[in-house]
Amino acid sequence: MESTVPELLRRGAVQLLVTRWLSRSKESWTDLPVPAPQQTVSSAGPNPDRVLLVGSGIAVGYGMDSHEVALGGQLAKQLTAITGRGAIVDVLVGDHMTVVSLREALDRARLQSTDAIVATPGSVESLIFMPTAQWRGQVVALLDDIQLRAPASLHLFFVAIPPIQTLMRMPLLLSLLISSSRRRLNRALAEVCEGREYATFVPFEPTEPFGRTGSGRTYAQWAGMLAPAVSRALDAP
């Protein structure tokens, strides 16, 4: 069902509040240092697996100066610790990367050279209160596109959108509104992945924030929450 005019106005007003708060608050993540948006990090070992980390939010590496100590590098280390093989993680991230821009970034050459994709979409969409039907349609289009263009061995992991409190402290009302949006989008994401053998929804409810107090230890903990599921797919026949 299409959004009504009052709903559109309400969503627009809340979006304006969120945008203004992000641009002005000292608690915002928007002025934290971040590594370059594209980088390749690795963990030494035989027969390395090739993994693509793509998306926004937790994958961007807020507060770090290199992806070696952010999620990409920590994920490579965790995978090697589990599989005994090397791991090469190509990082392709951005503050404003959406499902649509993520789909555009996954060209055939990249898909053909990757063993697994770890995607962290939804941070942008949850902040703009994207309607569920629109979000679902964009995720389905991405998955259908990957099924058509990627080798059958490629597996995609959709990491759940984490609580906004993982990134920063926000006013209570905005936090509640964004949390509701996040839960709604996560439910749709999990439902879309069901029945698709090449796609897995990975629940992600971290307890330690990073923001201005996080460290490489935080990213190591987060990578530890993701690596077991990814390694199982990499080890599958």
What pLDDT, on a 0 to 100 scale, did the predictor assign at position 5? Answer: 43
Cα separation, 58 vs 149, in Å, equals 27
- CATH class in words for 5-235: alpha beta
Question: pLDDT by residue (tens digit) across 83-109?
Answer: 999 999 999 999 889 999 999 999 888
Ranges of each domain in the chain: 5-235
Give, for 43, the enclosing helix (H) or strand (E).
Answer: strand 38-43
Question: pLDDT by residue (tens digit) across 143-168?
Answer: 999 999 999 999 999 999 988 766 66
**Phi, psi (rounded to 5 degrees) for 38:** -125, 130
In the predicted structure, residue 141 carries a pLDDT above the cut 70 = yes
| Burial status of residue 147 (CB atoms within 10 A of its CB: 0-12, 13-18, 19 or more) | middle
Give this prediction's pTM.
0.86
Question: pLDDT by residue (tens digit) across 165-210?
Answer: 666 666 777 778 888 999 999 999 999 999 899 999 999 988 765 5
Cα atoms in the 13 Å half-sphere on the side-chain side of 202: 27
